[in-house]
Amino acid sequence: MAGDKLSSNPQIDGALKLDGDPQNVSKYYRDWADTYDRDTAASAYSGPRIAADLLARHVSARQLTLLDAGCGTGQVGVALQPLGFERVDGFDLSEPMAERARATGAYREVLGDIDMMRARETYADASYDGVLSVGVFTLGHVPPEALRVLAAIVRPRGWLLVSVRTHYYDESDFASVLQAETDAGRIEVVEALMDAPYNHDGNGHYWLLRRIC
């Protein structure tokens, strides 16, 4: 896999071959921040729009507080804004990416230099009505166990929405982590979009989950 070309865009291809080390991932996105939006637009990246539409289909209360985990340059916040979601915060591992998210005006607050696996050091348990993470559960970025970290930040009966690249799903134990959480009665699946559009390089899976306890 390491030598295989995963994307026709060299920046996206390089991102998919990262080693998951937060320092290396942060450096990569610091260097990519200036062209990230252009590169993802050229790849027909549709994850933020699909995720926002999925949430809007099930959540009518637009005043819920939402956290965009791994917000990047703010594409999810921008997609949520015209749907009426205005109480949105965000964080990202890369401060330059977070700076661009702030500039969109789609967020109340965006924090940089936040490692998702340590997000509970910054965000209290059960502190948000919903957490979204789009474009982060992909090769070379975070382990599947990050799902448990994000679920802990959601209030009981709150929402958790994640996108997962298909190759990440196939090559990681994300499915078993998700199954363990549902079997334990901690979360339930509200809707799953499998093999849905993601970008030119392949499809993705999208889950809208609800925290039970």
Does residue 5 lie in a domain region?
A: no
Please give the residue range of the domain that contains residue 138: 10-211
pLDDT for res 8? 87
Sheet strands side by side (includes 202-211): 109-111, 88-91, 66-69, 128-137, 154-165, 202-211, 187-199
pLDDT for res 3? 56
pLDDT for res 67? 98
Low-confidence ranges of the chain (pLDDT < 70): 1-3
DSSP single-letter state for residue 20: -
Place of tokens 């070379």: 140
Does residue 157 lie in a domain region?
A: yes
Does residue 4 lie in a domain region?
A: no
Does residue 3 lie in a domain region?
A: no
* ∠ CA 135-141-145, rounded to 5°: 95
pLDDT per residue over 92-116, tens digit each?
999 999 999 999 999 999 999 999 9
Does residue 162 lie in a domain region?
A: yes
At a CB cut-off of 8 Å and minimum separation 6, what does 40 contact? 12, 75, 199
Total count of domains within the chain? 1
pLDDT for res 5? 81
